A and B are shown apart, each in its own frame.
Chain A
Amino acid sequence: MTGRLLAAGPITGLGHLLGQPFLQHALLAGTAIAVLSGLIGYFVVLRGQVFAGDALSHVAYTGALAALAAGLDLRFGLFAATVLIGLLLGVLGGQAATDDAVTGVVFAWVLGLGVLFLSLYTARGSTSNGAASARVLFGSILGISGSAAAAAVGIAAGLLAVLAVIGRPLLFASLDPQVARARGVPVRMLAAVFMVLVGATAAEASQAIGALLLFGLLAAPPAAALRLTSRPGRALALSAGLAVTAVWLGIAASYAWPRLPASFSIMSISTAEYLLAAGWSLARHRAGRPYEQTGRPAARALSR
């Protein structure tokens, strides 16, 4: 059993893998979600909003369980909660330097509410409360249905279209907000729109890898990309590519070793990608190339 994929030889194994409908759905949804998360995540890391991403992952859990408790579709709760809170964070985000203690207290409570909805959901007579909770927390990409996969692709395409429209001014505003504002870029509005995008991405990614493992696609691939290059276009492509690689390899690994949950494989591979990138950039630093050459791109290049 240690390798349905490997036993029959790699090519036959791959053919076998692609012939399964549930794997086709997983790969289709996973690829769309990975591309979206990799691109949005680049801006999240660049703007230093990783903690906001953390907060939105907690909100995603509570939203999903609230929907389950109310008997609605899980995805409705996910998107409603994360988009709403994302908008709130984006509007309040102008006074960014909020107290970390306040953030901690509020988000512990949001998760606590999630626990309440979990109990309410159980009280409604549903049998497997642990399973539903685990599905929201840790995702279940191999269990995604054909229609859910199609919806995930559609939503990802819509969000990417929005990102394509605001991408360039957003990059400028992220790197040098003062200069961008002086040149008439609507910095505050961009920040709000962007947080809504992050919220929707969190809801999308929760379906694949779960609310708690969001960082596997939202933080690790872009952080690795930022280690490898300072050119925004290249970093964006690299970040999306690394995220897609993690999802594909993760799904393949979980198919080959069924005891590994897919979310765990995906998270492990993206962590490994980040560690390799960090190691490579450290080694290059040792070899005499200063670290400052990678990392944050120069804003000047964009203002032209």
Chain B
Amino acid sequence: MTGFSWNLIADVRDILSYHFMLNAMRAGTIVAVVCGTVGYFMVLRRQSFAGHTMAVVGFPGAAAAAWLGVNTGAGYFGCCLLAALAIAALPGGGRAAGRGNSEESAAIGTLQGFALACGFLFVSLYQGFLSGLTGLLFGSITGITDGQVLMLLAAGLVCLAALAMIGRPLLFATLDTDVARARGLPVRLLSTGFLLLLGIAVAGASQVTGSLLVFALLVAPAATAVRLTARPGFGLLLSVAIAVLVTWLAEGIAFFSPYQIGFWVTSLGFGAFGLAVAGQWLAGRRGPAEVEPPHAKTEVETLHPERSG
């Protein structure tokens, strides 16, 4: 590995000449696109606590997979999807569980603690794995295999295709739940479907940023986009662009610096969000933008063409 030089083209060529970095870049790009998209909906739906819980539940899955010698990606996806189904079964659907019903949030906190404890048990059963613990919790750019990239690609494509299908009704149900329900949209079903997609996105993100730092890719780009624009389509694009940029930069810097990728990806995400808030403050605005719901009538037409006549 040669050191960093100001000749950026040579630097990029240097990075990509290593197979593990090529895999890290591929995986990072897929994960960033999925997280930017799904995260945007997650922020609008105020489900970050649910996303965090899924990520934490993914950790014992990955640790168990490493202990048993199975692909850790399978552990992440399996456990995150199970957690998504469990959260969908809760009465609140994981929505803004941080406040409100204090007993429910205590129950979720207990679940998180127990999941982390199980992960720790698996890690300590697998002797000599303590350095891997840091990778599972805080991300690593060295461990991504070809098989994992393929799995991430397949999961990402499924996730984006499904989101493309339910995107418009989901946005409508998110921003104007009562009207959406009154117009016959299956709000509950959409919510469950979205939680499953969130599970896929979280499982993918965990493999790049580690279980504890998924917010860096899921929340930070989306929260930045929501501050900058009220138009959902533009916001989505912006969120994806920020996520991809943050990932590429973080992986590039992590390659040349002695510090972990987890630090760079969270710092860049936090920096983007901080810039957006500062820009808003200069423009004399505060808080996230009120995202406009899509036009209500077309929604019912696309879902139930027979009712519009």
Contact = CB atoms under 8 A, between A and B. Distances in A.
A binds B: yes
B114 A268 contact: yes
A129 to B, nearest CB: 8
Interface in A128-144: 128-131, 133-134, 137-138
B291 interface: no
A219 B102 CA distance: 10
A11 interface: no
Contacts of A46: 102
Contacts of B124: 259, 261, 264
Nearest to B47: A100
Given A101-B223, A105-B270, A111-B266, A116 B130 contact: no
The majority secondary structure among interface residues of chain A is helix
A105 B220 contact: yes
A223 B219 CA distance: 29
A52 B110 CA distance: 14
Contacts of B102: 45-50
Contacts of B219: 101, 104-105, 108
Nearest to B131: A130
B68 interface: no
Contacts of A213: 113, 116-117, 120
Given A115-B259, A115-B263, A130-B133, A267 B49 contact: no
B223 A102 contact: yes
B57 interface: no
Contact of A274 (B101, B105, B110, B125): B110
A123 B259 CA distance: 9
B109 interface: yes
B145 to A, nearest CB: 22
Nearest to A106: B270
B294 interface: no
Contacts of A111: 138, 212-213, 262, 266
B34 interface: no
B222 interface: yes
Interface string B196-214: 0000000000000000111
B106 A220 contact: yes
B185 interface: no
B280 interface: no
A301 to B, nearest CB: 19
Interface residues of A, number: 65
B43 interface: yes
A87 to B, nearest CB: 20
Given A45-B106, A263-B120, A270-B110, A108 B270 contact: yes
A103 interface: yes
Given A48-B99, A101-B219, A112 B116 contact: no
B238 interface: no
B229 to A, nearest CB: 15
Interface in A186-239: 210, 212-216, 218-220, 222-223, 226-227
Interface in B41-65: 43, 46, 48-49, 52
B260 A119 contact: yes
Interface SS majority for chain B: helix
Contacts of A220: 106, 109-110, 113
A134 B130 contact: yes
Contact of B263 (A107, A113, A263, A264): A113
A24 B10 CA distance: 60
B298 interface: no
B267 to A, nearest CB: 6
Contacts of B116: 138, 212-213, 267
A11 to B, nearest CB: 29
A51 interface: yes
Contact of B269 (A49, A105, A274): A105
B78 interface: no
Contacts of A216: 110, 113-114, 117
Contact of A267 (B105, B114, B258): B114
A113 B116 CA distance: 20
A37 B263 CA distance: 30
Contacts of A1: none
B120 to A, nearest CB: 5
A271 interface: yes
B110 A264 contact: no
A46 to B, nearest CB: 7
A261 B124 CA distance: 8
A96 interface: yes
A130 B260 CA distance: 13
B142 interface: no
A266 B101 CA distance: 26
A212 B222 CA distance: 26
Among all A-B residue pairs, the 3 with the closest Cβ atoms: A112-B266, A130-B130, A48-B102
Given A99-B288, A131-B130, 10 more contacts: A99-B287, A112-B266, A115-B262, A128-B130, A138-B117, A216-B117, A218-B109, A219-B109, A220-B109, A267-B116
19 contacts: A48-B100, A103-B48, A105-B270, A111-B262, A112-B265, A115-B260, A118-B138, A123-B258, A130-B131, A133-B134, A137-B120, A138-B116, A213-B113, A215-B110, A219-B113, A223-B103, A268-B117, A271-B111, A271-B113
